[in-house]
A and B are shown apart, each in its own frame.
Chain A
Amino acid sequence: MKQTSRHFFILVLLSVLLVNGSGAIAPATQDQSELKFLMSDFLAKFLNQFESTGFKDLVRLGDRSTFSSYLNASDMNVELAPNFDKQGKYYPGEALVLGRVGLRNDLMKVNAIGAAATKTLWHEMIHRIIRRKGGGAPCLEEEAYTYLCEHRESWLQQVKNFEINYKKGIYSAAKMQEVWDYHEANWKNYVKGDVSNLSGPYSNRDPDDTCGAGGGTRIEISSAFIQKWDSVIGIQIELNTLRDFFKPKIRFLEKTEEVERSLVACDYAKASRLLDELANYQPKDDFMIKWEADKMPMLKRRAQAFVNARSALQTAKAAEGRNDLDGAISELQKALYVPGFPDCLRNEVTEMKSKLERRKRFGELSKDVERATTECDYPRARQGLNDIQRITPLEPMMEDWLKTSQTPLQKLEEDVRKAVALINQAEAQIGQAEAVANADPADENRLQQLAQQADQALAQADQIAPKCLRERQKMEALRQRLKALAQRKKPALKTSIILLIDTSGSMADNNKINQAKDAARRAARNASKTTEIAVLHFDGGCDARAMREAAPFTTDVNVLLAAIDKLQPGGGTPMYIATAAAVKYAQDHGRGTQRTVVLMSDGGDSCRDQQTQAATAIRDTKIQVNTIGFDVGNNQQAQGDLGNLATMTGGRTFSASAADPREIIRAFNLAMLPSLLKDFDFGNAGSNVANYFTQAKTMVQQQNVSGALMMLQQANQLAPNSPNLNFNLSLLYESQDQLIPAMKHANNYLKLAPGAVDRADVENRIGEIQKELQLNPRVVMDSSGCRDVLAWAQTEQDVAKRGRDVARRQAVLEVLIAAQRGECENARKLQVGYKQRFGNAQ
């Protein structure tokens, strides 16, 4: 009992030390049994050192019980000798380096008991067993055998490491093979001839001259010798069995590597087969089981992804075969999106996809080119062709298509260019012809020549222009214009207007005569071609001769302008007598169906005693007299005279102050408006538009200009591209002193009717308006862009007012004014500033 506990204590101590891997221990005692116990324990550990290896059943370093019984035999003495350092037979060299153990006769000396000494202890015990159990062997053979044992043990240590590395998965199969081969080759150093096993024969030198035969004497021991002593001692170490043990492991590893390789190489069949083989591999060690759990599913997935990709590729190819490019592309796209898509197929799939996409693009583009060509949209066709050329690489089929399409398109383009040039030429000639036709008198020869040239150009264009060419519409319109020219009648005169101008002495004041002349000139220019105008003026004494003719009725603007230029002021204002003479003049000479006198005067009638008589004469002709009081101010007599004249003839009276030169122009415009308006020119716009037009004209005749404006605005929404509508809007706006919209519509007119006969006049008008606006700027109020700010400011204004903070009231009013003016950006900026400064009460 006591003994056991003591042994137990030592054991614990020993195991701690072993675990710590430290060197030797020195028992406090020289007690034989205690020392033997410790030594046999170390020895047992040594013999069992391969217990934890996979090949533990294949290798034995000796029979444990044999070793134990020989160590514990009573004739065996052990001694702990810390200073033991003997050399020579039974005191091998290694004992000096490692733990020092020596055996001489029946005495085993150790300088310290520890793990380091164990191998020497094993070595010495083999000697002891040979001599005692086996009856001894010749000295040199015995030495060689023990060295062989040691070499084998060392070699096994390497195999053990080899196995550890295998289990850790550090080695590839190739590396394993290489290391194994290395170990095998190492064995060759000890074994002559057949190295397939470790059974010898073995040769070695006696390093220490243990047997007294001289150091380094070579000794050879036979296989039989080795086998004999192996069996006596119980040693079993065979290369073949170990090789057989490792062979399948290396093979397994090889297969796993091959799986990966075949997956990378897209050899799915092989990968699949190998995976099956690996799954069925027998026997399986821990490493293989772990590998199977860790790697197999991922590899199987990859293999499956490969299968999927392959089948997608096949489906795509099938779709391509059916010429279902979209289907094929989408199939490939889908496959590419799948996780784990095999890289080896990626190139193939993407290449195929871009090839199909190129084909698809080519298909679309080529169709579009064909469509564009049939629609005569040549720039689009050309663009499509260029786009196709940019496709890289071009397939031969595409190149062929390009070759066959290029030339016809070029020819078509050339034709169109020629046709358009011809059409433009015809248009210019027709424009000139129209101008000639409108001139007074018209140059019929020139007209004929121009029309003929235009007709020829159109015929030529007709031959070469493709049927679908858009310019054909224009051609049609031009033909209509030619037709209209051919069938043209001298325009029937609709209106005869007399401009009856007061040239009394007072007209010299305030630059009035010049303003009046300027206004009269504009009125003459603005008049339509169906209006003839005569310019009459009056001054001087109280008889009918006071009225004089400056220009007879004519439609020739130049004649009128020259006549107006010559007007000079001087004399009295025989208004009624002159008007009576003028209405008679209109009656006698006016050829229009409607006759109007526009009288402009700056004062009252100076022949009052003949007024009644003159008034009767005027009334009797039933010719309308519109009167313009120019700079009459509060002159009630003048106002009365002019007003009465208008009233008794069903005309209207207007007034203009000399303060603003535009006023007299506007007054003339108003007085002449009905005859200045152009006729409705947009038959295809529908009857609604025509109705608005007619109503507007009636309203203008009734002097309701703002009502007429409203009508034309409505018409404009329905037919914004009517040139004459824009012309009329421009006139009406100008007469209402709304210059910005007047200019806008005048510009529209010119844009819509580029060849208009009165282009120069309208351009002139626009120029004057522009000048006026530049000198005297106007704004158009439009708060529609910031109604929200406006509403906010209105509410905030009340809040600020209640707060009695003047600065705040000023600030919010600034916002309000900006919003009302329609300066929305500024309004919003001010609003932000306001909120930062005063917060937002709302």
Chain B
Amino acid sequence: MRNHFVTFIFLLTSCSVIAQDYRAIESQIQQAREQGMQYLTNKDDRAKKTAKSNLEQAEKFLKDELKRNAACEKCYELLTATYLYKTYFGFERNYDDCFKTAAQGLMHFPKNGRIAFFKGYAHYNSRDYAEANKAFKTALLTVDANTATQINQTLLDSQQKFLTEWNQQANYYQSKESRIEVAQGFQMVTAFQVTPEWEIQLGGQGFAALTANAPKVVDAEIQTYLQNLTTRLLSKSPDSPFNYQLTLVNSPEVNAVTPPGHIIVYTGLLAFADNEAQLAGVLAHELAHNYGHHQARAVIKNYHIQSIANAALRAINPQNATAQIFASLGANIGLTLFSRAYSRFEEKEADQYGAHLMFNAGYSPLDASAFFLKMSKASGKQPPRFLSTHPPLMDRADYLANYLESFPADGREFRVDSEEFKKIKARLVPSQQQQRAPGRGVLPPQ
């Protein structure tokens, strides 16, 4: 009993010691921040040293502390800040440690605004505005009014950038992914450059292969409607690489495919979508694959994989190489390319871009999520026939719903449905009432 009491007293005192230490460590980090700023503005080496050693000491202390006590909320908070400062002042290459610590911390303490606060700035600094927006929003729920004003300024900027800088492939034709270079002497020479025309040609082959045996439908109303919907999606987001020709295929498949220059929509999709916004979600997703130049990038990537195996290609002269490259590229193009499953990365990028296309055209990306959710529910009854199911539908539905949180969507008006869609849908899916067998009704009098 006496021993227990002593232990208890000891625990009490050690706790208070720890609390004291957090304050000390907090002011140490604060000092490091000031020194770091001085280093960055004045190139002051002594300040740099102090800042660095302060942060390292804090890091070590907090890591040890967390090892002893995984439920130390303050430690996660301070460690996230420590890593943020370390990277910001250039003592660490990237924010990975910061993100890792923040993720762990938020898993244990999802409502901690301070962790989200530091996490938000780390994301913002690494230009991941989607994540920055989410983290800032979380932080705003708990911080004081003064901090909130500061966060709001950054959040506004972050949201602006999020809305305008989403297209990572805006300068695709200038990027390395759009060309094949071969070594000539000591120089790298472009042996092949992807152009819109080439992509459209590629798309034409894909279109021919995909629709060769498909029962095409000619329906002016539906086609005009879909063409207009596509135009709306494309015209509200800049840098669409292609114009599109619409083809309607009579098939129960809930599907749409967009080889560059073509949109193939299956009637099953129109019947399955609940409203125009969901349909727009699917079209936006498919168009987004082209905003990402996924086909062309796949071809180029495929070439690189092959060329590593074929070392001989590296030594030949460029003119010859171009011819050969064309030959090797042509072989795999066509149906194989467009019926292949998109990679997990490509799907995620298309989901992201698609969400932006929707948002810009006045639709809520949430309707895309709702569509995938509906697909997921329906797929329990029959095998899923939509696109590739890789990653699984629920992952994508979840992802889109969460991605919405990065948009400034609250208080914004979105399109849900249109008269035309309802009309077309009514035509494709006879309503319940019409399908119902005649009932007994009223017995006429004798």
Contact = CB atoms under 8 A, between A and B. Distances in A.
A794 B240 contact: no
Contacts of A801: 398
A659 B227 contact: yes
Contacts of B235: 633, 655, 657, 659, 663
B416 A781 contact: no
Nearest to A801: B398
Interface string B238-255: 001011000000000000
A817 B362 contact: no
Interface residues of A, number: 38
B362 A777 contact: no
B56 interface: no
A634 B401 contact: no
A251 to B, nearest CB: 80
Given A737-B362, A738-B413, A659 B231 contact: yes
A816 B369 CA distance: 10
B422 to A, nearest CB: 9
Contacts of B141: 787
Given A657-B232, A779-B414, A782-B410, A806 B376 contact: yes
B398 A813 contact: yes
A778 interface: yes
A694 interface: no
A780 B411 contact: yes
Contacts of B411: 780-782
B370 interface: yes
Interface string A768-786: 0000000111111111100
B170 to A, nearest CB: 16
B330 interface: no
B415 interface: yes
B412 interface: yes
Contacts of B240: 634
A696 to B, nearest CB: 17
A813 B412 contact: no
Given A776-B418, A781-B409, A810 B364 contact: no
A235 interface: no
B385 interface: no
B387 interface: no
A741 interface: yes
Contact of B373 (A739, A775, A777, A817): A817
B412 A738 contact: yes
Interface in B349-381: 362, 364, 366, 369-370, 373, 376-377, 380
A821 interface: yes
Contacts of A748: none
Nearest to B364: A781
B243 A634 contact: yes
B394 interface: yes
A740 interface: yes
A813 B366 contact: no
Nearest to A787: B141
Nearest to A738: B413
B373 A776 contact: no
A779 B228 contact: no
Given A659-B228, A776-B415, A821 B376 contact: no
A716 B377 CA distance: 45
Nearest to A736: B413
A820 interface: yes
A775, A778, A794, A795 — which one has the most chain B CB atoms within 10 A of its CB?
A: A778
B369 A817 contact: yes
Contacts of A776: 276, 415-419
A778 B373 contact: no
B270 interface: no
Interface string A523-534: 000000000000
Contacts of B419: 775-776
A810 B413 contact: no
A659 B231 CA distance: 7
B414 A810 contact: no
Interface string A730-751: 0000000111110000000000
Given A659-B229, A813-B369, A813-B397, A783 B418 contact: no
Contacts of B370: 817
B418 A739 contact: no
B401, B405, B417 — which one has the most chain A CB atoms within 10 A of its CB?
A: B401
Interface string A801-825: 1000010011001101100110000
B401 A817 contact: yes
B78 interface: no
Interface in A708-760: 737-741
A831 B31 CA distance: 46
Given A776-B415, A813-B401, 7 more contacts: A634-B240, A634-B242, A738-B412, A779-B364, A782-B410, A797-B401, A806-B394
28 contacts: A633-B231, A634-B240, A737-B413, A738-B413, A775-B418, A776-B276, A776-B415, A776-B417, A777-B415, A778-B415, A778-B416, A779-B364, A779-B413, A781-B364, A781-B410, A781-B412, A782-B411, A791-B110, A791-B111, A794-B402, A795-B110, A797-B402, A810-B376, A813-B397, A816-B401, A820-B366, A820-B405, A820-B409
Interface of B: 110-111, 141, 227-229, 231-232, 235, 240, 242-243, 276, 362, 364, 366, 369-370, 373, 376-377, 380, 394, 397-398, 401-402, 404-405, 409-419
Closest CB pairs A-B (n = 6)? A659-B228, A775-B419, A776-B418, A659-B231, A634-B243, A657-B231
Interface of A: 633-634, 655, 657-660, 663, 737-741, 775-784, 787, 791, 794-795, 797, 801, 806, 809-810, 813-814, 816-817, 820-821
